[in-house]
Amino acid sequence: MLRVIAGTAKGVRLYAPGNMNVRPILDRIKESLFSLLSDRVEGARVLDLFAGTGSIGIEALSRGAEHVDFIELDRKTAEFIKANLERASLSTRARVINGRLPSALRRVRPEYGLIFADPPFKIDARIMEEVCRVMCGKGLLCPGGLLIYRHSPRAVHEPPPPLCMCERRDYGDSIISVYSVCDEADGFHADGGSR
Q: What is the pLDDT of residues 98-138, one digit of tens each?
A: 999 999 999 999 999 999 999 988 877 788 889 999 999 99
pLDDT recorded at residue 195? 35
Q: Where are the domains positioned within the chain?
A: 27-187
Q: What is the CATH number of domain 27-187?
A: 3.40.50.150
Report the pLDDT value the prediction gives residue 86, as an integer from 0 to 100: 97
Which pLDDT score, from 0 to 100, does residue 18 have? Answer: 76
Tens of pLDDT, residues 50-109:
999 999 999 999 999 999 999 999 999 999 999 999 999 999 999 999 999 999 999 999
pLDDT tens-digit map of 175-187: 999 999 887 555 5
* CA distance linking residue 195 with residue 55, whole number of Å: 29
